[in-house]
Structures are given as C-alpha cells and as structure tokens.
Amino acid sequence: MRAAITPIADGNILELNWTRTDPTDEFYIFLHFAELEKLQENQSREFDIIYNDSPPFGPLVPPYLEALTDYRTAPLSGSDLAFNIKKTEQSTLPPILNAFELYMVKQFSQLVTNQGDVDAMLEIKSTYSLMKNWQGDPCSPRAYLWDGVHCTFDNVNALIITSLDLSSNNLTGQIPEALAELIHLATLNLSGNKLSGSIPRPLLERSKTGSLSLSFNDNPDLCQNMSCTNKEKKTVTVPIVASVAAFLVLLAAIGAVLFGLKKRRLKEHWSNRANVRKPAYTVKGGLARFTHLEIMDMTKGLERRLGRGSFGTVYYGELKDGTQVAVKMLAPSIQGSEQFQTEIELLIAIRHKNLVSLVGYCDEENKLALIYECRRIELETKRLQIAIDAAQGLDYLHCGCRPPIVHRDVKTRNILLNENLQAKVADFGLSKILPDEEESYVSTRVIGTAGYLDPEYHVTKQLNEKSDVFSFGVVLLELITGQAAVIKSSTIRTNLVHWVSPMLDRGDIWSIVDERLQEVHSPNSIWRAVDVAMACVKPTAVERPTMSNLVTELKECLAMEMDAGIDGNIGDRNSDFDEMKPVIPYTAIAPRVR
C-alpha cells in the first residue's frame, strides 16, 4: 500500500484484464486504494470503477494515507475478466491503484470436520492465541490440514480429529477443558511446553483406561496426576466451606428482611391504586401515577393520534405544566396482566441517554397506559448521529441490563428525538409486559413489524439480540436510502432489503443512496455505512455483528465525516412534533440511474 500505479503518460484509464482457461471458474476481486500525495487545494483525485460490462459506479475518492477497499459481493463471470479505473471529469489527477487481490472459488467435494471438534479446536486456538496455519476447516481439504492435526472418517460421513500434537509450542497457563471435548482423540502430545496447574480429569481418566495416549513431559509446573489436585482441595476445603456457610447465612437473613420490607411497600402502593382520583402526581422514584380521567384530559380525549404499534396506540398529550408527552394506550391483550406492576418498577430502573424515559403511568380500571417524554423537533437532523444514538441505546439493553432485554420491534417509529436532536429508543420495556412470556431473554412471541422482522424467526420461532440487529440494519438502510422498510407500488410490495441487494451485487451503490446524502456526506463514509447495514441484514444470525460492534463501526463512520470536514446535515429537514414518526421522511422520488 506504500506504492501505487497510474496510467501511462498521465492517462485517464487504468485497464487490467486477463483470459480464464476455464470460463466456469468464479473469482472475487478486492481493489485497494490510498492517496499517497498531499493534494493541493486546486487538485483532486476521484474515479469510477467498471467491472467487465457492468455499469460504472463511483466516484471513489481515496483517503490520504488510509486504505479504502472496494469489492463485489457477487463473483465475476465470463471468459474474459477486466476492470477499468476511469478518471472522472471533475478530477484533476489520474486514477491510482495501490493493490488488488484476486480469489478463485475452489469447489471441494471432501467432507467437513465434525462440528463439535471444530468448536473445541477454535476454543483451543483462542486460549493459546496460536498463530499457526489454523484457518478454515481443521481437516478439509486434506492438503490444508491444520498443523499438528490428524483426522479420520467416522460412520456418519464426517471427519473427526483423532490426533493432536501441540508439543514445543511454548504454551503457558492451564490445560483448557476444550481438549477433553475432542471425544474422538486417541493421541494428545503436550510435551515441551510451560503448562501449569492440573490435567483435566476427563483426560486423565481416558489415559488411565487406555483410550487416549497422553504425553506431557517437560512441563515442570504441570501436576501430572490426580493426587496433587486432591491434596490441594483437602487443605482448603474446611475453611472455605465454613466461610461460605457463614456468609450465606448472613446473606439470607439480610435478604429476608429486605424482601419483607419491599413486599409490604409494594403491596401498600398497589392496593391503593383504585382510590387515586386526584391529579396530585403520586410519585414513586420520580414516576407520576395518573388516573384515566387525567389521561383523557392531557390528550384532550385522545384527539391527536401519533402512531399505532404492536403494543397499542400512541397519542400526543400535554401535562398541566406544559410538558409535552407521548401517551401509549396499551392494547387489550396487555390489559389485566399481573406483570404490569413489576415491569413498571423495571422501567423506572432503566436509565440511559439513548433510551426514552418513562415519566408516568396509569393502571386504573383496567386502563393501562405509559407516558413518555416527548418534545417538538424544529431543527435539521443528522442521520449518522441518529444511527449511533439508537445503536447505543440498543447496546445498553443487550449488554447493560441483566437479564438482557430484547426489543423485538426496532423500527424508525420507535426512535424518537429530543430538542437537542438526540435519538432515543422507545417501547423497549413493553416486550416484557406481555403475558405468557418465558423467563428468558429469548422471546417466542412475535412483536415485530413487517419489513423489520428477522427472517430466521420463520425457522426458529424465536427472537433474540441478533433479531434486533437485523431490524436495526433495516433502519440503517432507511436512513441511507430514504425509502420505507416496505416499498409499496400500485402492484407490488417489496422489502427494502430485497430492493437494495441486486443493485449492491452489481456494485451500483449510488442508485440506492438518498440524493441528499450524496450532496453532504463523504463517499467513503457512505460506503462504510452501507457495508455495516448489509452486515446487519445477513440471513443468519451468526453472520451478523453485535450491537457493540455496530456502535464502534458507526463511530468510525462519523470520524471519517469529521476528518473530511462534513457535518452530515440533511437538507431541508424541518418538522413539527415528528418524533413519533420515522426519523427520516420517505421520498417518492425514484433513485437516479447511474
């Protein structure tokens, strides 16, 4: 990447082509760019890329001393392969290419390794941070076996690992239990390392019965039998048991007292709810409790509906002090739920700058309602910052709450904005109020919205954190394209993911990007954001990133914007109390053809 090629005599096009011996072969190509010159104010370098006969896409602007990689998600086809890098009319400098990689798809007929063995080997690799050629499948293809691994076939047509040689690898620490999970292992050599601690009991027992040939010589700090393990246990068992027992007795006594006090307070609080009729704002932990009459008063008889969701209908309201609120009248299926009381306590406890705060509730006469903070928006919004804020809110639900909370209905209408244009995720706690839920963070009840629902649900019948990631990916695509999650025409309805995929497979990114973004955002940042969105909407959960990963990726996109001196404003984005609607306006303008 420290060097680059340009066209001869400052030409306008870089051409690379070759002829394939087998037209059926498939290739994937990766092009790498980096600007190596410090350009003057009157200089610019941008170019389009043309693969074979596909339409050109770009322009690409290589960042200064940073790598930019362009690749196609679909293989190149045809007997002749070619790609051209063409200077744009606005560019004053010729195109460049720093490096490229070409990968040919090889079809293997060999079997793959038993999944249990693969999982164990990956854990061993992670434990010891091995830098061997341990990539891909441990046993297949046979020409690329992992170093030290020997495999054979079993009776179910899968490869199994029967021998593992980790000798003289300078391994330190204890022997991982994952080695015992290689249940077909007949030979294990751990000699010549710096291992310590004891040998896992299953390995010793298999060695004793003769089913495993175990070598562990030249490990001075390794306990080589069960006696030292038992001895250590005997010396510490009595004091540990005594200490733990005393601690548990004390803890149980304290817990019983606290539980009794809390139960009595909650009983008194909820038993009096039918008698509350005055707008005295009975507050518990900063949360106001309203009567149904007060709800009708603040919403002027449910006059202004802001939206409808899986949990109920949302109305605009104002408190007597002028505070603007969103009142969610919960659906009949939720009314009467015994969990509602305890879930209110849960919602009070959840506080994060990117989660909507609950300011009140109503549970009178089977009329259940939640009152959220809500304000008008009269400024332009920044889409990238909205995405970061929403990602941070969801990440807190997944990683900052115990047990983790799965939103299950992530969509633009559940991302609200305050007067500082800070995005906040709404409706996150309602997924726990519904009756008949399992005591688990994996949900089996569908709450999602068309266009956002994880496609794996149709197979697994479960929603989890990666389901929220898929829905968030759709939100990202909405922010990027300006289109709705479900694009409707006079004849068909198309999911946004299905709409963008064919164009991205052709490398035609600019046909999906909202024209307003093209005018004010860095091209490199847009490319990065599209990659992040498409990673979220992978068909299987295991391929998707976590919300923590997404926060990092999106912040890097923002850093690219700031480095380019761009603030990322959307043009002409004015609204009046629009936060219960999608955070971006959908456009009826068709994407421009490039």
Mapped to the 3 state alphabet, what secondary structure does 399-410 carry? Answer: HHCCCCCCCCCC
Is 257 a member of any domain? no
Question: Is 192 in the same domain as 60?
Answer: no
Number of domains the chain contains? 4
Give the helix, strand, coil percentages of the chain, each rounded to 5: 35, 20, 45
Question: Is 285 in the same domain as 406?
Answer: no
Bond before 59 cis per omega within 30 degrees: yes
- The single-letter DSSP state of residue 59 is E
Q: Do the beta carbons of residue 465 and residue 472 sit within 8 Å?
A: no
- The single-letter DSSP state of residue 5 is B
The per-residue pLDDT for range 416-443, each reduced to its tens digit, is: 777 677 888 887 755 544 443 333 344 4
Question: Is 200 in the same domain as 280?
Answer: no
Question: Is 552 in the same domain as 403?
Answer: yes
Question: If you write DSSP's letter for every residue of 167-191 in order, what string do you get?
Answer: TTS--EEPPPGGGGG-TT--EEE--
Quick one: pLDDT at residue 18?
78
Question: Is 314 in the same domain as 462?
Answer: no
Whether the pLDDT of residue 111 is over 60: the answer is: yes
Q: Do the beta carbons of residue 388 and residue 551 sit within 8 Å?
A: yes
Domain boundary residue, one of 348, 373, 398: 373
Judged by DSSP in three states, 194 sits in strand
Quick one: pLDDT at residue 590?
27
**Where residue 147 sits, what CATH number does that domain have?**
3.80.10.10
Residues 6 or more apart whose Cβ sits within 8 Å of residue 323: 359
Is 534 a member of any domain? yes
The per-residue pLDDT for range 493-545, each reduced to its tens digit, is: 888 999 999 898 888 888 899 887 776 667 788 888 999 999 999 999 989 99
- Residue 418 CA to residue 176 CA, distance in Å, equals 50
- Residue 579 CA to residue 413 CA, distance in Å, equals 8
The per-residue pLDDT for range 51-93, each reduced to its tens digit, is: 877 777 778 898 888 888 887 777 776 677 788 899 998 899 9
Q: Is 328 annotated as a binding residue?
A: yes
Mean pLDDT of all residues belonging to the chain: 76
Question: Is 398 in the same domain as 541?
Answer: yes
Is 591 a member of any domain? no
- The residues annotated as belonging to the active site are 409
Whether the pLDDT of residue 338 is over 60: the answer is: no
Query: What is the SS3 string spanning 545-558?
Result: CCHHHHHHHHHHHH
Is 419 a member of any domain? yes
Judged by DSSP in three states, 443 sits in strand
List the one residue out of 303, 354, 355, 348 whose CA is nearest residue 329.
Answer: 303
Number of neighbouring beta carbons within 10 Å of residue 412: 20
- Residue 90 CA to residue 550 CA, distance in Å, equals 34
Question: Is 211 in the same domain as 338?
Answer: no
Question: Is 16 in the same domain as 158?
Answer: no
Is 417 a member of any domain? yes
Question: Is 59 in the same domain as 174?
Answer: no
Question: Is 210 in the same domain as 177?
Answer: yes
Is 132 a member of any domain? yes
Mean pLDDT of 22-43: 86
- 288 versus 464: the higher-pLDDT residue is 464
190, 196, 198, 199 alpha-carbon torsion, rounded to 10°: -10
Is 237 a member of any domain? no
Which domain does 300 fall in, by range?
A: 275-373
The per-residue pLDDT for range 113-158, each reduced to its tens digit, is: 888 888 889 888 888 877 667 878 888 877 778 888 998 865 566 7
Is 234 a member of any domain? no
Mean pLDDT is lowest, of 73-77, 450-454, 480-484, for 73-77
- Residue 58 CA to residue 481 CA, distance in Å, equals 16
Q: Do the beta carbons of residue 475 and residue 410 sit within 8 Å?
A: yes
Question: Is 123 in the same domain as 191?
Answer: yes
Whether the pLDDT of residue 50 is over 60: the answer is: yes
**Where residue 338 sits, what CATH number does that domain have?**
3.30.200.20
Question: Is 426 in the same domain as 531?
Answer: yes
